[in-house]
Amino acid sequence: MIYIKTKKEIDFIRESCRIVAETLQLLKTHVKPGISTLELDKIAEDYILSNNSVAAFKGYSQAGSFDFPGSICASIDEEVVHGIPASDRILKDGEIISLDVGVLKNGYFGDAALSVAVGSISDEKKRLMDVTEKSLYIGIEEAKLNNYVHDISSAIQEYVEENGFSIVRDLSGHGVGKFLHEDPSVPNFGKKGTGARLRKGMTIAIEPMVNMGRYEVRTNSDGWTVLAVDGLPSAHFEHTILISNGKPEILTVC
């Protein structure tokens, strides 16, 4: 079921999204060689709690796995998404890390992610991050009233693949707001002109996950962390957006 949000509900979602965006920007300033992903998790949780909200990921459950223990997902290099923060996961120069944050406030959710360089990274990793982030904004441009979900998907796929990278197919964006994950699914590949029609009042999370090598992924033995099967790096960027009469509005900005 696709939820169309009222103005009041959108205002609540916007507030949760603001906190998500501020948390991500705070985390970005702390990413450096020598810090652990658990330390980043604590920084994020403290900031979220200080805004009278809660970390949406903490305690989240899915079939076949234990409740997620972290406040954020912290995924390094070949870890595509859902990396579990840990004290022994120390960031090293040359890595890239995906930071994914969800917030619940006043009963409504916001969700976003970005990838950050740890120290000095290779030119190829930088290009991977640049292409992934650009593909997100190319997808957002297609999130217009009366377009179709797969117009977003097709635009992302085309840009990523023409730049020599691969788009992860086993994971997708999603509706967000009343719940952390809602309909519709927003894949990052697909055929233009198909999928659900975009309607005013829809709030969706668009999140390309782009691999340097092959698109295939697998889930680690921890039940959460998704890895590129070939061990090559992956990047991830995400925004929650609102479908309106005009241009799509990015809600996860500060």
Chain-centre distance of CA 218, in angstroms? Answer: 18
- At 163, the amino acid letter reads N
In a domain, 2, yes or no: no
Question: pLDDT tens digits for 117-166?
Answer: 999 999 999 999 999 999 999 999 999 999 999 999 999 999 999 999 99
Domain count, the chain: 1
Q: Which pLDDT score is estimated for 158?
A: 98
In a domain, 92, yes or no: yes
In a domain, 62, yes or no: yes
In a domain, 130, yes or no: yes
Looking at residue 40, which CATH number applies to its domain? Answer: 3.90.230.10
Nearest residue to 20 (alpha-carbon basis) of 95, 86, 101: 101
Q: What is the mean pLDDT of each run of 10 residues along the chain (254 residues)?
A: 97 98 98 98 98 97 85 98 97 98 98 98 98 98 97 98 98 98 98 97 98 97 96 98 94 95
Range of the domain at 83: 7-250
As a dihedral over the C-alpha atoms of residue 244, residue 113, residue 56, residue 225, rounded to 10 degrees, the angle is 130
Q: Which pLDDT score is estimated for 62?
A: 78
In a domain, 40, yes or no: yes
In a domain, 72, yes or no: yes
Mean pLDDT of the chain: 97
In a domain, 1, yes or no: no
Q: Which pLDDT score is estimated for 103?
A: 98
In a domain, 220, yes or no: yes
HEC secondary structure over 33-100: CCCEHHHHHHHHHHHHHHCCCEECCCCCCCCCCCCCCCCEEEEECCEEECCCCCCCCECCCCCEEEEE
